[in-house]
C-alpha cells in the first residue's frame, strides 16, 4: 500500500497528539509513504511553533527535526511544479479548500494517476480535505 500524508497527518509522527498512534500504524503498514514537497516547510514550521509555544522542549525539537529529516529521505516526495500549481488552483475552487490543502490534494491526485491498480490511501486531519480526496479515488 502507498500512503499519502498531508502535513496535518505527517506532523503526528513527530508531535504526540490525538491520532499519532493511528498515523504511525498506517506508516508501519505502508510500503511507500508519499507527500508533497510543501510538507517539508510546513512540518518545520509546526515544530518551531510548538517550541515557541513551549509545548516541546529544545531537546524534543532537535530530536523531532532529526527524525523528520531522516524520514524525509525515505519518502516519495511529489514536487510542487507549475502544472501542479495550476491544478491546485482548480481543486481549491472546486472543493472550497485552502491553498496548502489544495496542493496536497493535487499531489495526491498525481500519485493516484500513476498508481494503476495499486492501493493508495490518503491520510489527513482535515474533514473537508479528506472528503475531497475520497472523491478523487
Q: What angle do CA 134, 24, 123 make, to 5 degrees?
A: 15
Domains in the chain: boundaries: 2-136
- Enter the C-alpha cell of residue 95: 472543493
Tell me the Cα Rg of the chain.
Answer: 15
Torsion angle (degrees, nearest 10) of CA 86, 88, 91, 95: -150
Superfamily, domain 2-136: 5'-nuclease (3.40.50.1010)
> Using 50, 70 and 90 to split pLDDT, how confident is the model at 137?
confident
Contact of 34 with 75, CB cutoff 8 Å: yes
What is the CB neighbour count within 10 angstroms for residue 94?
12
| Average pLDDT estimate for 71-90 | 96
Span 36-56, pLDDT tens digits: 999 999 999 999 999 999 999
| Average pLDDT estimate for 83-96 | 96
- The mean predicted confidence, pLDDT, of the chain is 96
Taking Cα atoms as reference points, which of 34, 36, 132 lies closest to residue 84? 36
Which pTM value belongs to this model? 0.94
Amino acid at each position: 500500500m502507498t500512503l499519502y500524508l498531508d502535513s496535518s497527518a505527517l506532523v503526528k509522527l513527530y508531535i504526540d497528539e490525538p491520532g499519532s498512534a493511528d498515523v504511525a500504524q498506517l506508516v508501519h503498514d505502508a510500503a511507500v509513504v508519499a507527500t508533497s514537497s510543501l510538507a517539508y516547510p510546513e512540518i518545520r514550521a509546526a515544530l518551531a511553533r510548538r517550541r515557541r509555544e513551549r509545548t516541546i522542549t529544545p531537546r524534543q525539537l532537535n530530536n523531532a527535526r532529526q527524525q523528520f529529516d531522516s524520514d524525509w529521505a525515505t519518502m516519495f516526495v511529489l514536487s510542487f511544479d507549475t502544472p501542479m500549481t495550476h491544478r491546485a488552483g482548480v481543486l481549491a475552487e472546486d472543493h472550497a479548500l485552502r491553498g496548502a490543502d489544495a496542493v496536497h490534494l493535487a499531489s495526491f491526485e498525481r500519485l493516484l494517476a500513476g498508481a494503476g491498480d495499486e492501493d493508495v490511501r490518503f491520510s489527513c486531519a482535515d474533514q473537508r480535505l479528506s472528503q475531497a480526496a475520497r472523491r478523487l479515488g
